[in-house]
Amino acid sequence: MEESFVACDWSERLTKKFEPSDFEILERWIKNYVNNWASCDSLCNHTVGDFVMSKKAVMPRTALRYAIEKMPDELKKQAMIK
């Protein structure tokens, strides 16, 4: 758990240096190393969330999906209607 906290904190500090191609690395980290809710919350809500929202111009669909996931349930239902 302690290693996970250090890794998540470190990766969050590097968010501004990430490039869109680094999204694949973040996905691999989640798949291979995130194995509990604390790690998931730290990495996904902070590092990945900050990264996605900072790259809205080049990743608009991903940013929109992330934003929708953060919405309250009622707004999320409305946003998902075609």
- Bigger pLDDT: 79 vs 25: 25
Q: How many domains does the chain have?
A: 1
State both tokens at 59.
Answer: 């990743």
Per-residue pLDDT band for 8 (boundaries 50, 70, 90) equals: confident
Q: Which domain holds residue 59?
A: 2-80
* Helices (H), ranges, 17-80: 23-33, 37-42, 49-54, 60-70, 73-80
pLDDT digits 0-9 by tens, 9-59: 888 888 888 898 988 998 898 888 888 888 888 887 888 888 888 888 888
Q: What is the model's pLDDT at position 81?
A: 72
Distance between CA atoms of residues 28 and 16, nearest Å: 19
- Bigger pLDDT: 8 vs 30: 30
Distance between CA atoms of residues 21 and 15, nearest Å: 13
